[in-house]
A and B are shown apart, each in its own frame.
Chain A
Amino acid sequence: MSKPTNPPCGGPRPGAGRPPGEPTKVIRLPLRLVPAVQALASAPPGVRMPHPAASHLALPMFGHKVRAGFPSPADDYVEAWLDLNEHLVTHKDATFFVQATGDSMTGAGIQEGNLLVVDRALEARHRDIVIAVVDGEMTVKRLDKRRGRIRLLAENPAYAPIEFQDGQELTVWGVVTSVIQRFKR
């Protein structure tokens, strides 16, 4: 019995075998993690890569530089950003903005072009500034309810009060809670 001889074409093949240098290990990964792992591998040592599916996280901002030794005494007082909506809008779903035109309410500080914040959730009371519907038009006036008599007053002597007769119904569209006047853009 003769031993099988190796084929003559044998011998070391270039590139075969374990690569020289650092030892390696084969691992199995879900395909979706491949980019993250590659990024991690190519990052300089010590750099932490964010998880690819990381979601946004808002953190409070501290308004001082880090200094060794003394923590800022203000750190205990980190507060929320002041939001004008919160200041001006009480009933979000019932609040509308309208633009004032004309000069009938200048005495109340409402100028042409001002933005009015209107809250429909409020019941209109005597002396409130309201948006009312008169003859199908929306108008801003001061509501005057005295001795069972309802009137809409302008805040400008050039305009006569709007009187409501018996049986004539006043429709209040909403109550004006603020006026916003910009001086500069």
Chain B
Amino acid sequence: MTFALVDGNNFYVSCERVFNPRLEGRPMVVLSNNDGCVVARSAEVKALDVKMGMPWYQLKDLAARHNILALSSNYPLYADMSNRMMGVLGSYSPEQEIYSIDECFLRLDGFAADGLAAMGQRIRRQVRQWVGIPVCVGIAATKTLAKLANHCAKKNLAGADGVCNFGQIRADELTALFDRIQVNEVWGVGRRLTGTLAGMGIATVRALRDADPALIRREASVVLERTVRELRGVSCLALEDVAPNKQQIMSSRSFGEYVYALADLEQAVSTYCARAAESLRRQRSLANAVQVSIRTNPFSERQPQYQRGITVPLTQATSDTMRLTRAALLGLKRIYRPGFAYQKAGVMLMDLHSEDQVQGVLFAAAAPARPALMDVIDRANARWGGGTLKLASEGVKKPWQMKREWVTPSYTTRWDELPRVS
């Protein structure tokens, strides 16, 4: 079996640079919602040792010294560019697993082993030309190894020009390479596992590959045992071509500024609920319960702290925004306490099942479903932008709304924000 893992280099930064070629070579970061933390870094910023997840305010001095540009995240743009990239990559194989917004696995069985690196180069060239995004390609006999090969391509540890094919590396060379890579670079080995493995004297990829699978199973987990086998070239993980429908849908945001009044929280909760309900309808599911939660800022030690969530069950599963919102607001009223500076609220739709498995109600008349109304709302919002049609409870001014001070236009998804060219 042969797998390729293709992933976009500094994906969000690369998306921004496609439409602002002037940013090429400039140190830059993309910030999380509310312009809080670094979620993407350009190569220039990585070289300055800026870590993922660093809060932007801690970087202000460094940014001033090195002229680092910070942009707010522009998810409509990244999602569209991701779809394009995945579309191009999908043409290389009938089997593709889209693993995240910027990476996917491809099955490349049946191609001559010595032609795979060349194919990797073609993939790289085509995505770069068609979509404008630079990618790296890792090729190997298992998904875990393909991930590792991709890491090697990206860090220039093996392979050439952003493509690394483990299938073309001699066994002794591969062992030497694995000896140089820390075990935490292996797919699925997080911080906690790294600690466990360190206790077992396993610090490198080579040590993990050569560990006794039975021991790994006993001391860690079956999952990690499978990783050991995958590192040895035995494919245990198949491609998951269809992303399973989500079991719960979460919509939560930090506020742009602290919120005190119940009325403002109600607006925020209504807005998040509408967004979650839209995703729910997109995957054609119904929710049986709504969880709503609010909290103060846990990092602000001088302020009194409060945090609470409540789950409101529904008598009948629904995807109707109005019914979900009513439940969420009911829950909010129960948990709201005055006198706190709230920093975040969230709505989670839970206990989901598919639209076509409807259970009747025993003790009450079934509430009328309004699929046609919901359909109109979804289509109007898709066509004229989110929030075009909404419940009045979402509010109009939204003082709590997310801060996105440095967001670039939706270049590819809105007619009034297209790139302008003279």
- Interface positions of A (Cβ within 8 A of B): 31-32, 34-35, 52-53, 91-94, 96-102, 104, 115-116, 120-121, 131, 133, 136-140, 171, 173
Contacts and interface: CB of A to CB of B under 8 A. Distances in A.
A97 B412 CA distance: 7
Shortest beta-carbon contacts, A-B, top 8: A136-B22, A94-B130, A102-B422, A93-B87, A31-B360, A93-B84, A133-B21, A99-B418
Contacts, number: 73
Nearest to B422: A102
B419 interface: yes
B419 A120 contact: no
A96 to B, nearest CB: 6
Contact of A131 (B358, B360, B421): B421
Given A34-B360, A136-B24, A91 B130 contact: yes
B366 A35 contact: yes
A53 B21 contact: no
A139 B88 CA distance: 26
A93 B420 CA distance: 20
A20 B147 CA distance: 76
B356 interface: yes
Contacts of B24: 136
The contact size tier of chain B is 20 to 34
B360 A32 contact: yes
A111 B356 CA distance: 52
Interface string B1-37: 0000000000000000000011010000000000000
Interface of B: 21-22, 24, 83-85, 87-88, 129-132, 356-360, 362, 366, 411-412, 418-422
Contacts of B85: 93
A139 B412 CA distance: 18
A120 B360 contact: no
Contact of A173 (B21, B84, B359): B21
A102 B420 CA distance: 10
A100 B87 contact: no
B22 A137 contact: yes
A178 B131 CA distance: 19
Given A93-B88, A133-B21, A115 B418 contact: yes
B57 to A, nearest CB: 29
Contact of B356 (A53, A92, A98): A53
Contact of A139 (B129, B358, B411, B421): B421
A142 B132 CA distance: 21
Contacts of A120: 129-132
Contacts of B411: 96
